[in-house]
Amino acid sequence: MKHTKEFDIAIIGGGLVGTSLAAALAHTDLRIALIDARPASSKPTLEDYDERSLALGYGSARIYQALGLWSKIATAATPIQTVHVSEKGRLGVTRLNASDLDSNALGYVVTLRHLGSVLDSSLNHQAGLTRFQGARLQHLEADGEAIEISIVTDQGPLSLRAALLAGADGTQSMTRTLLGIEQQDLNYQQHAIIANVTPELPHKNQAFERFTPDGPLALLPLTNNRCALVCTQRPEDAARTMHLSVAAFLRDLNARFGYRLGRFVRTGKRECYPLNLMIPERLTGQRSLLLGNAAHTLHPVAGQGLNLALRDVALLAQLLTQYTDPGSPELLTHYATLRMRDIRATAQYTDGLVRLFTHPSNLLGHLRGAGLILLDRLPPMKRQIARIGMGERRYLYGRLFLGLPTEPLAR
Ligand SMILES: Cc1cc2nc3c(=O)[nH]c(=O)nc-3n(C[C@H](O)[C@H](O)[C@H](O)COP(=O)(O)OP(=O)(O)OC[C@H]3O[C@@H](n4cnc5c(N)ncnc54)[C@H](O)[C@@H]3O)c2cc1C
C-alpha cells in the first residue's frame, strides 16, 4: 500500500479560504498539507475587463493586515467611501459614509485574481507547508489520535495522517459529506447575474445596494470606472436577461438601477449563478472542522461570504496558538461554539434583508421606504448597521481581529 505522510493540519481546498488559512499559520511551527483539486496552473496576471471581484469589509482588511498581506492586497483594492441603499419605485434612501465612522473606507473591492495571487505567492517557500495540487479528497477515517485521509492525485493515490482536518472545500464539500454532516438548504429561487459594467458618470467610490421587486442589485466600484454588478432575478427572468443583446442588457440595467450614474455604456461577459443558503447542522466531527463556503453559503446580497470565512480563519488561527493538540475535542468545541453564533447571525442578517425587500406587501413597501428615510436621519443606528456590514461583531475573539499577529505557541 501507499506511504503515509504525517501532518499537524491537513487543509482540504485551496480556494481563497484554504489559502488564507495556510497563510494565517505561516508563523507557526505546524506541519501543514494544503490539498486542492485544481491543478497547478499559471494564472493570468494582467487586468482583464471581465475579472471577478468581491467586497472585503474593514474587518477583513484588518485580518490580512495582521498577516502582513494587506499592503500587497491594497495596491489593487478600490476603497468604498459610501454605500447607497435604495428601493426601486420608493422614495427612501440611506447613505452610509466612511467619514461617519471616522474610517478611511467602509470596505474594499478586490479582484479574485489579485487576492488569489497575493495569497498564492505568500505561500511559496512557506516553511512547513506541503501543497498537493490536482489532488482530491476521497476518504477519511478518524480515531482518537489522528485522522487518516486518502487523496487521489495524477500520480496515484496517497494517504496522509493529520491531527486536524480543516475542510475548506466549498459549498459541495466532500469533507462535509464524508463526515456525515447534514445541512439546512434553502433555494432562494433566484439567480445572480454577474458582469462588470461601465457607467457614463464617475462612480466616485460609491457602492450601491438597490432593492427591486425581482431581487436585490448590487454595484461595487472597481478600477478604471468599472463597476462589478450582482443582479438577482427569478430564474426564468435571469435566463431571458442572459440572452439579451449588449444594448438591450444595458437598457434593462438602467431600467432596474435608475440613472444615478448616468447611462451604462459598456458591459463585459455575463455569468449566472443559482442562489442558496446553506448552513450545516454542526461544524465539527472527530478531529475535523469546516470553514468557508463548506461551513456556510449565503446570498451574496450584502457581500458577506468571504468576510465571514475570514473570521473562521482568524478564530482557528487564534485557537491553534492556545491548544497544544490541533484536533483536540476542547479546541473543536471552542471553535464550533464561537463560529456557529457568528454564522447564524450573519445568515439571518443577509436572509432577513432578502426577505424584507422582496416581500410584495404594499404596506411593507411604504414602511421600508419610511425606514430608509428614518435610518438616514439616525446616525447612531446607521453606524451600527455599517459596522455589521464591515464585519465588526461584539463577540469576536482573538488577536487577528484586532489587526495583531498571533503569538506562536511553544509546542
Ligand atoms: C455572485 C457572488 C458574489 C459574491 N460576492 C462576495 C463579496 O462581495 N464579498 C464576500 O465576502 N463574499 C462574496 N461572495 C462569496 C465568496 O465568493 C465565497 O464566500 C468564497 O469565495 C468562498 O471561498 P472558499 O475557498 O470557501 O470556497 P471555493 O472558492 O469554492 O473553494 C473551494 C476549493 O476547494 C477545492 N475542492 C473542492 N472539492 C475538493 C476535494 N474533494 N478535494 C480537494 N479540493 C477540493 C476546489 O478546487 C476549490 O479550490 C460572493 C459569492 C457569489 C456567488
- pLDDT tens by residue, 35-52: 999 998 756 566 789 899
The reported pLDDT for the residue numbered 404 is: 81
| Maximum mean pLDDT: which of 48-57, 294-303, 381-390 | 48-57
Query: Which of 19, 54, 227 to mutate to test ligand 1, by most ligand atoms within 8 A of the CB atom?
Result: 54
pLDDT at 120 over 90: yes
Looking at ligand 1, which residue's alpha carbon is closest to its atom 51? 300
The residue ranking higher by pLDDT, 319 or 2, is 319
Residue 43 pLDDT = 60
Residue 36 Cβ inside 6 Å of ligand 1? The answer reads yes
CB-based burial label for 348 (10 Å; 0-12, 13-18, 19+): exposed
What three-state secondary structure class fits 117? helix
Ligand 1 center to 170 CA (angstroms): 5
- Grid coordinates of 182: 447534514
pLDDT at 354 over 80: no
Question: How many Cα atoms are found within 13 Å in the side-chain-facing hemisphere of 170?
Answer: 11
pLDDT of residue 336: 97
What's the rounded mean pLDDT across residues 190-201?
Answer: 95
pLDDT of 98 reads 85
Q: How confident is the model at residue 390 (pLDDT cuts 50, 70, 90)?
A: low
Query: 2 or 107: whose pLDDT is higher?
Result: 107
Q: Answer whether 216 contacts ligand 1 (Cβ < 6 A).
A: no
**CB 169 near ligand 1, within 6 Å:** yes
Residue 396's Cβ-side half-sphere holds a number of Cα atoms within 13 Å equal to 26
b/e string for 62-89 if b means 16 or more Cβ within 10 A? bbbbbbebbebbbebbbbbbbbbbbbee
Which parts of 268-392 are beta strand (E)? 271-280, 284-285, 288-290
The pLDDT of residue 364 is above 80: no
Report residue 1's pLDDT band, with 50, 70 and 90 as the boundaries. very low
Residues making up the chain, counted from first to last? 411
Which atom of ligand 1 is the closest one to the Cα of 17?
Answer: 25
Three-state SS for 67? coil
Per-residue pLDDT of 207-263, as tens digits, reads 998 888 788 888 999 999 999 999 989 999 999 999 999 999 999 999 999 999 999
CATH number of 4-185+276-402: 3.50.50.60
User: Ligand 1: which residue has its CA nearest to atom 11?
Assistant: 306
**pLDDT reported for residue 355:** 67
What are the pLDDT digits (tens) for 49-86?
989 999 998 889 999 999 999 999 999 999 999 988 88
Pocket test for ligand 1, best of 120, 276, 293 (most atoms within 8 A of CB): 293
Pairing of strands 288-290, 156-167: parallel
Residue with cell 499559471: 42
User: What is the pTM for the complete model shown?
Assistant: 0.90
Q: Which residue has the higher pLDDT, 46 or 11?
A: 11
Cβ atoms within 10 Å, residue 342: 18
Span 125-129, average pLDDT: 93
Selection from 314, 320, 315, 305 nearest residue 335 by Cα: 315
Distance (Å, whole) CA 115 – CA 77: 9
Q: Provide the pLDDT for residue 389.
A: 60
Compute the distance between CA of residue 237 and CA of residue 231 in angstroms, rounded to an integer: 11
Q: Residue range 83-90: average pLDDT?
A: 76
Q: How far apart are the C-alpha atoms of 398 and 141, rounded to whole Å? A: 31
Strand partners, 186: 277
- Per-residue pLDDT for 172 more than 80? yes
The ligand 1 atom at the shortest distance from the C-alpha of residue 109 is 8
Residue-level pLDDT at 239: 96
Q: Per-residue b/e over 160-172, b at no fewer than 16 CB within 10 Å?
A: bebbbbbbbbbbe
Nearest Cα residue to 228 out of 237, 218, 236:
218
- Using CA atoms, how far apart are residues 206 and 202, in angstroms rounded to an integer? 9
C-beta of residue 339 within 8 angstroms of C-beta of residue 315: yes
C-alpha pair distances (Å), 283 with each of 179, 287, 312, 329, 345: 10, 11, 11, 12, 15
DSSP 342: H
Task: Please give the average per-residue pLDDT across 2-6, as a whole number.
Answer: 73
How far is the C-alpha of 60 from the C-alpha of 58, rounded, in Å? 5
Q: What is the mean pLDDT of the chain?
A: 88
Q: pLDDT tens digits, residue range 266-285?
A: 999 999 999 889 999 999 99
As given in the structure block, the three cell numbers for residue 151 are 487523496
112-121, 139-148, 265-274, 382-391: least confident range: 382-391
